[in-house]
Chains A and B, each alone.
Chain A
Amino acid sequence: MQTQNSKLSSFFSFTKDPKIRNFREKIIAISLFGCGVFSILVTIGIIVTLFSEAIAFFLRPEVDIVTFFTGTNWRPLASKISPDNFGVRPLIRGTMLIAVISGAIAIPLGLGSAIFLSEYASDKLRSVLKPLLELLAGIPTVVYGYFALSFITPILKQVLENSFGIKVSFFNAFSAAVVVGIMIIPMVASISEDAMRAVPRSLREGAYALGATRFEVSTKVVVPAALSGIISAFIIGISRAVGETMAVTIAAGATPRMTLNPLDSVQTMTSFIVQVSFGDAPAGSINGQSIFAVGATLFVMTFVMNIVSAVILKRFREVYD
């Protein structure tokens, strides 16, 4: 190893020449710049493709942009192509149904784990628990989908259908939302915990010195002080739920429906995109373009949510500086 190293260094000894070193620095700077520009260019490329196809879709005579956003029927594959069959609201409804339920699961559990990790756990325990929690985020989403289908749905059917006589579809929004909720717990917990750990220790001491219990310190001082960061964690988690694809495609079904019943089968925006992409809709056809219109709508929704969270985060920073 030693000899190899010395051979290598003698081989590259020309880099020690001041002129070439300078040149090398330049190359390094340029390639690093290239790395940064590459991802920006790809993002711009995606946005341009997405919106140009979406605009092409809206310019078609068979669709109407107002009906698209207000219509309650989504039947793009129907034999009769009319604007009435291109109302995106059932897909948005399905997406939001899953986002709301998964948020209702992930927010309390995520915040609870964040409070435990930040305020209760010893350093040692945290150093074990936090990576374990983040392991949840490393499970492929397709696994979550089959977990919903093969574990949660049967339990749901057993409990609700057999015991209470409530009808549960085999594909249903609730099972999908449960696994999406579990999926985003680590994200909500991790970002909230970071925000809570950023609260200066002096504030905790101030509260302890007034006779606050650990729980009062957590809920009345640390959480309010970190609230902006925590809310931004919620929004990032929800926007992840909105964009989640594989688990909902597998578990929630493919029935665009204006429903608020989570035990029905629904279709989300992402699972519609998957459905059409796996079919044989030719490029440039109305179906091929419809997925770009749906995708662009989804993009705008999550983009707005991310901007909102960035604005809230910025406010959060001002509190301590």
Chain B
Amino acid sequence: MNLVSNIQSYSINFHENATIIRANQLNIFYSGKLVVENFSLQVPKNKITALIGPSGCGKSTVIRSFNRMNDIIPGFSLQGEIKYQGKNIYSSLEDPVRIRRQIGMVFQKPNPFPKSIYENVAFGARINKYQGNLDELVEYSLIQAALWDEVKDKLKESAYALSGGQQQRLCIARAIAISPDILLMDEPASALDPIATLKIEELMWELKEKYTIVVVTHNMQQASRVSDYTAFMSLDREKIDARVGVLIEFDETTKLFTNPKLKETEDYITGRFG
């Protein structure tokens, strides 16, 4: 099978020390069907990297490969390597559970557990046998997620009593409570109203001091507002029927949005495609 795409693409490289994840020539399959082809990307440390592109181009598939979340989907397989801390996370020696404790994830739809607000935040610490003060950890995480003031008087109440935006910030608090290196966010604001979206975006700005963030979004304004770097993915036009996602252009967000190198990127960001 010839997996080398002839598609024209543009990407930038960083110094070894400035990157935290290096994806090298990924080919991703679901039940034997190729869905993402020849994907290479270097994720810069302590920056916000956005993944944009039309629906079905494999953005979520790629981001879910970064912490091996796809492993739980039957039929998933991956070729190539994703390097994190100098090791290929898909090597058979690596434990996906350990990787997920360092590379956290926030999902499209808020998915708090049907437990109290407190227990939601404490969940990761409890399963990691956290030795410190749990109350302090919960408070710290909720403050980090800009939710503390809204929930400090009802920590024992069900997380389901919160609004959608609050639930999503609770999920962010839950993710940062295990102090990961990287936060992956898969369209974290797409199920939220504009005000809640704005809060999540402000929060991302604050969080990038401590964490590297990779965010999938189909909202280009959001990508241009929050991210430092943007990767544009699209479907391989040479085999459009096969619906195979490829990386088209990766650059600093300002450059990608004001002066894209490739016509396909320009078409997308100016609204002529997608």
A interface with B by C-beta (< 8 Å): 122-123, 200, 202-213, 216, 220-221, 224-225, 319
Please tell me which one of the listed residues A208, A212, A213, A225 contacts residue B69 in the complex, with CB atoms under 8 A apart.
Answer: A208
Which A residues are in CB contact (< 8 Å) with B107? 202, 205-206, 209
> Chain B 120-157 against A: per-residue CB contact (8 Å), 1 yes, 0 no?
00011011100000000000000000000000000000
B104 interfacial contact with A, CB 8 Å: yes
B114 CB contact (under 8 Å) in A122, A123, A209, A224: A224
Q: Does B113 contact A (CB under 8 A)?
A: yes
Complex contact A122–B171 (CB within 8 A): no
User: B72 contacts A204, CB within 8 Å?
Assistant: yes
Contacts of A208 in B (CB 8 A): 69, 72, 100
B109 in contact with A206 (CB, 8 Å): no
Q: How far is the CA of A207 from the CA of B128 in the complex (A)?
A: 12
B74 at the interface (CB under 8 A from A): yes
B residues near A123, Cβ cutoff 8 Å: 74
Chain A residues whose C-beta falls within 8 Å of the C-beta of B126 in the assembled complex:
220
With the chains together, A206 CA to B106 CA distance in Å? 8
Whether A211 contacts B123 by the Cβ 8 Å rule is no
B72 touches A202 (CB 8 A): no
Name B87-111 residues within 8 Å CB distance of A: 97-98, 100-101, 104-105, 107, 109, 111
Which chain A residues border B123 with CB–CB below 8 Å? 207, 210, 220
How close is B73's CB to chain A, nearest CB, in angstroms?
A: 10
B61-102 CB mask vs A (1 if < 8 Å, else 0) is 000000101001010000000000000000000000110110
A220 to B171, CA, bound (A): 17
Is chain A's binding surface mostly helix, strand, loop or mixed? helix
Q: Is the CB of A205 within 8 A of B104?
A: no
Chain A, residue nearest B109 (CB) = A202
Q: A205-B107, A210-B175 are in contact. List 14 more A-B contacts (CB 8 A).
A: A122-B74, A203-B113, A206-B107, A206-B111, A206-B113, A207-B113, A207-B123, A208-B72, A209-B100, A210-B124, A210-B178, A212-B124, A216-B127, A319-B114
Bound Cα distance from A45 to B14, whole angstroms: 82
Cβ–Cβ < 8 Å partners of B33 in chain A? none
Beta-carbon contact of A221 and B178 below 8 Å: no
A211 close to B113 (CB less than 8 A): no
**Would you call B105 and A209 a contact (CB within 8 A)?**
yes
Complex partner residue of B67 from A209, A216, A221, A225, CB under 8 angstroms: A209
Measured between alpha carbons, how far is A206 from B178 in the docked complex, in Å? 13
The answer, among B98, B113, B128, for a CB contact under 8 Å with A225, is B113
Least CB distance from A37 to B in Å reads: 40
Residues of A within 8 A of B128 (CB): 211
- Contacting pair B97 A213 (CB below 8 A): yes
B47 within 8 A of A: no
Taking a contact as CB atoms under 8 Å apart, the answer to whether A211 and B72 are in contact is: no
Q: Are A220 and B127 in contact (CB under 8 A)?
A: yes
Asked if B115 CB lies within 8 Å of chain A CBs, one says yes
Docked pose: A213 CA to B111 CA in angstroms? 18
Question: Which residues of chain B have C-beta atoms less than 8 A from A319's C-beta?
Answer: 114, 160
CA–CA, A168 and B132, complex, Å: 54
